[in-house]
Amino acid sequence: MPKAIRSDSENNRTTGLATVSLYDGAPATVAQQVHDGDTINVTAKGNIAVRLLGIDTPEVSFAFPGPKLNFVNMDNPRWNEFLKSPFDAKWGPYGEIPDGLRSFILAKLTGEPGTEHKSHADRATETFRNLVSKDMEIMGQDLSSFGYYLRFGFEVMDAYGRFLCTINRNQPRRTEPTPRPPTYNMRLLERGMAFPYFIWPNVNPFDRPASISAAVIPPGTAREFAENDTEVSWARRRVQTAREKHLGLFDMTSPLLLEPFELRFLCRRSIPGRHLIDLSSDSKKLIAPQEYFTVPHPEDRLWIPDHYVPLFKEAGWEI
């Protein structure tokens, strides 16, 4: 089934398709659809993707560098060729790359980085599928009755028409039929199948401030925030434990060489576009996008999109 929400990156627009809403299980009348002069109920015509908040997993496929956005599966041997020399001009023009970032990336690219990435992507995908299948079994439900519970961040949808949220099996009673498990977001982190990827302000949908300005972290309090925010602290502990146990992405014999966002910015012939805050520090300074690697552990990075940087500067953060 086609997507109900479609992204047109070339024209910088997002569109969608919908049909008549339902009322008591049947198509609604026009009067039932139109609630008031500026509100109408509709049913999305097609699937809507969900982008799991706070995590990032290896890419199964991505747009291979070139003049056209052609998605190529990661098992294609061209990925190994590209990732062994990603800054080479033959892959397309690249802007100015800071020496520190260039050296950091190149030092990571050993062996067969494309093959490695595909292997980890397959493991993450299969793990997620198994978690859903197991939940269906536990709930005693099938494809016609099983459902999901979503909780959204400040921004409900991203530029690609995907919901931004945490997601879990829909289990209304906390302890029935079994104790409700952590979200799929958390379960993938604790198994070492995903990197943490905290992007402000969509950090904790379970404890959301009343306004975007109220969500700004005061300068010098990042460490305190990371320790006291339940969702963030749980996620960070799960990742630290996965690393200590060498699970999944942190396997000592076959670790993931490139973080997923690194693969993406190399393919796009760009550098990272978000400032960040070190959650392990009491610093009052925002770290420049191209210096993200100075915060070595991904669970210590809180990414700040550029259009929100003025809010942080106004609050007293330094650039």
pLDDT digits (tens, 9 = 90+) for 144-175: 999 999 999 888 988 888 999 999 999 999 99
Residue 104, classed as helix, strand or coil, is helix
In which residue are the tokens 């420049």 written?
288
Same domain? 171 vs 234: yes
pTM of the model: 0.92
Rg (CA), the chain: 21
Rounded to whole angstroms, the Cα distance separating 218 from 313 reads 10
Residue 67 reports pLDDT greater than 80: no
Rounded to whole angstroms, the Cα distance separating 58 from 249 reads 9
What is the band of 302 on the pLDDT scale with cuts at 50, 70, 90? very high
Residue 178 lies in a domain: yes
Per-residue pLDDT, averaged over 193-222, amounts to: 89
Rounded to whole angstroms, the Cα distance separating 201 from 204 reads 8
Residue 178 reports pLDDT greater than 90: yes
Structural domains counted in the chain: 2
Domain that holds residue 286: 49-314
Residue 37 lies in a domain: yes
State the CB neighbour count (10 A cutoff) for residue 144.
5
Residue 251 lies in a domain: yes
Q: For position 61, which CATH number holds?
A: 2.40.50.90
Same domain? 166 vs 213: yes
CA angle (199 as vertex; 8, 261 as ends), nearest 5: 65
Same domain? 113 vs 25: no
In which residue are the tokens 């309090």 written?
221
Rounded to whole angstroms, the Cα distance separating 152 from 164 reads 6
In which residue are the tokens 């397959």 written?
122
Burial of 249 (0-12, 13-18, 19+ CB in 10 A): buried
Residue 223 reports pLDDT greater than 90: yes
pLDDT digits (tens, 9 = 90+) for 69-103: 689 999 999 999 999 999 999 999 998 899 999 99
| End residue of a domain, out of 11, 31, 47 | 47
